[in-house]
Amino acid sequence: MRLEIITPERIVLSDKIDRITLMTENGEISILPHHIPFVSNLRPGEARYEKEKHEASLAIAGGFVVVREDGSVVILADAVEHPEEIDLTRAEAARARAAKLMSEIRSKEDVDFTALQMKLEKELNRIRVGNKYRKI
């Protein structure tokens, strides 16, 4: 099946694949060829795709996934990084800043709290994917 992963800055991937697994707002989903048409919001998480028995991963910050009637999959993402592109030092610093600011907000109903919570989730995902696939 055809997969396209697009961010506002670039086309991250445009290739034929055998399977992709993503984190949606309703949980993890694997999409195989001939999947029914489908649209969902994406949560920050790891996307794993397989092509000819080789698996690769990406850190996705959120966005949308669309499975078209022809079986192609389009991911419109806020941000996507290959594990080797993730700067773990920067990600950890951003995570620490977001956690500190969250601790200073008094009300969980505050709009800033929700935005910081999403930022924290994004940075934790970057750290998790970066560490998991980092070649030592």
Please give the domain boundaries of the chain with CATH numbers for all domains: 2-81 (2.60.15.10), 86-133 (1.20.5)
> Stretch 17-37: mean pLDDT, rounded?
94
pTM of the model: 0.74
The more confident residue out of 30 and 132 is: 30
Cβ proximity of 95 and 124 under 8 Å: yes
pLDDT in tens, 64-113: 999 999 999 999 998 999 888 878 788 888 778 877 877 777 655 655 66
User: Has residue 136 got a pLDDT over 60?
Assistant: no
Q: Give residue 57's identity as a one-letter amino acid code.
A: S
pLDDT at position 130, please? 75
Long-range CB contacts (< 8 A, 24+ apart) of 67-71?
67/31, 67/35, 67/36, 67/37, 67/38, 67/39, 68/37, 69/37, 71/1, 71/2, 71/33, 71/34, 71/35
Confidence at 129, pLDDT banded by 50, 70, 90? confident
Nearest Cα neighbor of 42 from 54, 57, 28 is 28
